[in-house]
Structure 1
């Protein structure tokens, strides 16, 4: 039998729980004809707050939460299909934060202050198809963030200040088809970064600081169709970055706005079905560009160019953008491609673009 003190304590607990429930209800509104929920300015999201009362919620949008998400915070939302988190500060996304949510299909995290995503954050999510995490500050992507996600086909980590991606970070995402890593601070593509991504179709690495692509980097992406390397710091590309068996499905390569002066004569050998390439805004050495364009012509590869009226500001807003590739020679008599990089010529090229911007 409970004594009077116990009864008083139970009443206090129930009252406290009631206050929490009233608090969250005051900050949340129903949406999409009752199947959605939008919560704003809730300090802490946890399983205790998101109790069984929200079991039938299908769409959930959290705005401006200010503390790390509780472990398995969404476990009671068994029917949740779409989860969006925007604004605020989470700091760390802990392991198992998104776990055992059988119907979850999409997670969208945008403009949240996040500094670390731990291993097994996305774990045991059989229906998850798309993860978008943008405008955050994590710098380092560790191996094993995605585990037992058999249907995940799209990952976007654009504009996240990523500097380094651990080898085999995506190896447990067997059906991944598109990977967006643009607008980060990556400097290197390591040979095992794309390990076991045999279904990858689209890889966007634009707007980074990539200067090195290691040999065999694309050995595990035989179905790659689009490779976007726009706006990086590449001075050379080695054909050995592609597998010896070739990349028979690769249709397009975008090399706009790098520091390339040449491509090795065998570069296209392992790309039998390449259909288009973007060469603009590189300081091509004239004999090398001539050789490249001959190869493109002989293999029916389309060389993309800019519309006459466009400087394509979204590609390189701070620089003039010629419609077609422009080359430079050290001497008028130069007619042999030497496959070497010249810092001097590269600087002359940049000055030339600025001096003659009005002609582009």
Structure 2
């Protein structure tokens, strides 16, 4: 009992000290809590990325990283696009012109990888229109009447600096403008200049140029696209591939040439296609001319495996060969009508032109001297008449026997 009473004062003092220490700590914490809360709030704000908000004309999905501004009659690219956008659709608008830096923002749209501006009535794309998009991999400009496509549209606004483009897929289907808006220059050449400028598209893997009414491909347009794997040229008006080289497209996997105006593929083209290790060629719906010039192509088709659906290829001309399957033709079926050599044809054409000129000059001379010629004709007529009258008089004398005897006696 005495022992328990002697220990109670010390125990109470210890508890009192602990209580005082707790009060001091509580006061210090309460006095410093506003600063700590402000610090924690600042740190939270500083670590949160500036995602931006969705522009009023658009529909945004942050989860899908997609922004759609479709059929909104926009005349310019929205300036307040959210930074998280990875897929941007601007189809069905009235953009008309894409100026330099049309997508430049601060901070930049670093995540934008797929951009679709098809069917937005674009008529002009200026140099550097797609600058400051470091992650852009897919671009679709199809179904726009592009009358002016800058050679540096895909590289940069500074023509002296070659800026590689990050593009992997480029769609330029049905971009041919009306004939009155082509400004008397080659549409094929304009597109080719944009594809090869500064070698900016060396990393391109897919190129679609369908439905553009191309009559030919410029000679070196594919030389600047060595990484190409898929080339779509269907539904154009290509009549020949003689001047196009596929030799450097060693990674090419598909070549679409359907619905063109090809009549025959010559040996050089056949050899280049056969030399590509992975290619698949599509040649349907071309007006093949089955004459003696088709012999090499028929032999190649019968041996090669690169042409897909080759059993569907049929003759379109001449009329007697229409709908004949190319694979079933033999050399005896492929004849040419005997025609003059081209050099001789040219000579005869030139001769015909010279003779026509001589005839025209002769007629002009006759017309200018028509009065003199008329007088000359009258003189000839009078001379012929006098001659015929004398001949008639002598004939009458010879016909009368009495006059004949008198003539004979007078002669004696």
TM-score w.r.t. the length of structure 1 is: 0.60
Choose which of 166, 170, 174 in structure 2 pairs with 1:175.
166
Conserved 8 A contact 2:245-2:272:
no
Post-superposition offset of 1:147? 0.7
2:90 corresponding residue in structure 1: 109
Secondary structure at 1:277's aligned position in 2?
strand
Question: Cα–Cα, structure 1 residues 212 and 167, in superposed 2: closer, same or farther, change >3 Å?
Answer: farther
Q: Distance in 2 between matches of 1:98 and 1:305?
A: 52
- Which has the larger strand fraction? 1
Post-superposition offset of 1:297? 4.2
1:194 corresponding residue in structure 2: 195
Question: Cα–Cα, structure 1 residues 254 and 215, in superposed 2: closer, same or farther, change >3 Å?
Answer: same
Range that drifts further, 196-205 or 285-294: 285-294
* 2:239 matches 1:235: yes
Post-superposition offset of 1:275? 3.0
Secondary structure at 1:227's aligned position in 2?
strand
Structure 1's unaligned 5+ residue stretches are: 1-54, 65-77, 307-322, 341-360
Question: Cα–Cα, structure 1 residues 289 and 164, in superposed 2: closer, same or farther, change >3 Å?
Answer: farther
- Which has the larger helix fraction? 2
Q: Distance in 2 between matches of 1:169 and 1:238?
A: 29
Conserved 8 A contact 1:165-1:193:
yes
Aligned residue runs from structure 1 range 22-33, under 5 A: none
2:57 corresponding residue in structure 1: 62
Q: Distance in 2 between matches of 1:130 and 1:279?
A: 30
Post-superposition offset of 1:114? 2.0
Secondary structure at 1:246's aligned position in 2?
coil
Post-superposition offset of 1:117? 1.3
Q: CA RMSD in A?
A: 3.6
Question: Cα–Cα, structure 1 residues 283 and 92, in superposed 2: closer, same or farther, change >3 Å?
Answer: same
Question: Cα–Cα, structure 1 residues 92 and 151, in superposed 2: closer, same or farther, change >3 Å?
Answer: closer
2:69 corresponding residue in structure 1: 85
TM-score w.r.t. the length of structure 2 is: 0.53
Bigger RCO (CA 8 Å, 6+ sep): 1
2:252 corresponding residue in structure 1: 250
Q: Distance in 1 between matches of 2:76 and 2:83?
A: 23
Post-superposition offset of 1:326? 3.0
Q: Which of the two has higher C-alpha Rg?
A: 2
Equivalenced residues, count: 253
Q: Distance in 2 between matches of 1:192 and 1:175?
A: 18
Conserved 8 A contact 1:63-1:87:
no
* 2:280 matches 1:276: yes
Q: Distance in 1 between matches of 2:272 and 2:310?
A: 24
2:123 corresponding residue in structure 1: 139
Q: Distance in 2 between matches of 1:224 and 1:159?
A: 22
